[in-house]
Amino acid sequence: MQLKEMNRITVYIKIPFLTLMLVAAGSAFGQDLGSSNTLFGGKKKTTTPATKKPAAKKPAPAAKKTTTAKPKPKTNTTAKTTTAKKSTRPSAKKATTASNRTTPNDDTSARPTPNVLTNTDRLPIRDIGTEPMPPRPANVVSPYAKNDIIISVGQKTSGEFSELFEQAIEEGNAARDQRNYVKAEGAYLRAQSLKTGDARAVYGLGNLFSDQQRWEEAERAYRTAIQMAPESPESYVALSFVLTQPIPVVNLADRYEEAERIARRAIQLDSGNALAHDQLGVALELRGSIAEETENSYRKAIQLESTFALAYAHLGRLLRKKGRGDESSTAYRNAIQLAADVPTMILVADVMQSQQRFQESEQLLKKALAQDPKNPTALILLGRALTTRGDFDEAEKVLKKSAEVSPNSFVSHTLLGSLYARQNKFENAEKALAQALRVVSANEMRRLAQEYEVVGDGYFRTGKSREAARVYRQAMALDNEKASLPTKLARAEGR
């Protein structure tokens, strides 16, 4: 089945979840950067909620054979909730590989107040940050931007509320397709407040956050979706994917270990899920294993989905590490040839960037953007590729567009700031980093402090001591343990 636009939330409870397109991360900030937007976002016309079923999307990256493939609904998170809702357990058949990222954004409409439960009713969510996320734009206050997610399970809703819920889901789907992330986030939040026991809205928010590489918020949302629908393999695959993103945390090895465990759980729930097998390979590889099990995981994914371009790309990367160059080249060629749709092109390009194959990735990304000009992940990855080869003017245009499309993307603003610093445009760099500061999470603070330090060094080097001191102070506020910063600040202040 072809990996069409990333899966979106489907309106029909009876349709199984869409599987997520997983990818081993590429490399940003010196580490692998997971394919962001393509991974969970789709661009398909939404259908009327109560009339006809949404056109079955063939979501999986591993293009399933159409003869047997089951149509994949949009981000269908109709997870089986603990309430009287019809079982939405994903069918035992392998869900086709579809990426389902969604990028949150603010909605101009007021968000209904979500149900708040007592402590005994709260579902435990692992705290993944030492500090709460910074506030989102004024019109949308997402519970996923905080360390504690409060949801209720099993709440019964009237027919009127159900209809409003379905309308909000469809609105979110349509906004995602249009890359209007602010409106999409507002719609999904509204849906969640109307039916707090329905996992679809939560799952959609996770996809939205993944689109913008807001990994911590995506993790919280997917963990909640798993609690609400514990037998949905797609939610496990999505969480495993997020856990393999290289966010700067001290327990990265623990996260990779959990990603492996969760991928194995997805396989237990659906042994025919090609995405789950591919994601298991990714987790194992990130844990340093290039042994037989890792290779077999990728090959199993390809066996299940013969046109699974992403699995071929992962296999090519692994074989290269194992010194099997000819086989690696063949696998990469297969990946490029099979990458026929936008999401797959981006995912394969991401893997290539992790191997410093920037020129090949650039060709795929430009092809993808010709079809989907506002795809935030494609824009980020292309901007990175252009920066790497020194085409700064074009990289600036691309990264600016990425920031416009996804204003809450920390990565877009930070890459733009880094680009300006490399060109000695320190005032512009500081402005870009100020935008990154607006959306920085606790785990990203140290990385942002490094960027501010680079700008401070540039100011000081060009004789602008006052500006350098200001920037160094901001860096210290983000990372008060960096030993070099107090010394540099004192020097800039003439002490």
Give me the pLDDT at residue 11, please.
26
Domains parsed from the chain with CATH numbers: 37-355 (1.25.40.10), 409-495 (1.25.40.10)
Q: Which residues have C-beta within 8 Å of that of residue 326, sequence separation ≥ 6?
A: none
Give the pTM.
0.63
Closest by Cα among 310, 264, 302 to 283: 264
pLDDT, residue 257, reads 96
**Amino acid 158: pLDDT:** 60
- The per-residue pLDDT string of the chain (495 residues; one tens digit each, 9 = 90 and over) reads 333 333 333 322 222 222 233 333 333 322 222 333 333 433 333 332 333 333 333 333 333 333 333 333 344 433 333 333 333 233 333 333 333 333 323 332 222 222 222 222 222 223 323 233 333 334 444 444 443 333 333 444 466 778 899 999 999 989 988 888 889 999 999 998 888 888 899 999 999 888 888 888 999 999 999 999 999 899 999 999 999 987 777 788 999 999 999 999 999 999 999 999 999 999 999 999 999 999 999 999 999 999 999 999 999 999 999 999 999 999 999 999 999 889 889 989 999 998 888 988 999 999 999 999 999 889 999 999 999 989 999 999 999 999 999 898 899 999 999 999 999 999 999 999 999 999 998 888 999 999 999 999 999 999 999 999 999 999 999 999 999 999 999 999 998
Residues forming beta bridges with residue 31, ordered by sequence position: 28
The pLDDT value recorded for residue 433 is 97
pLDDT at 370: 95
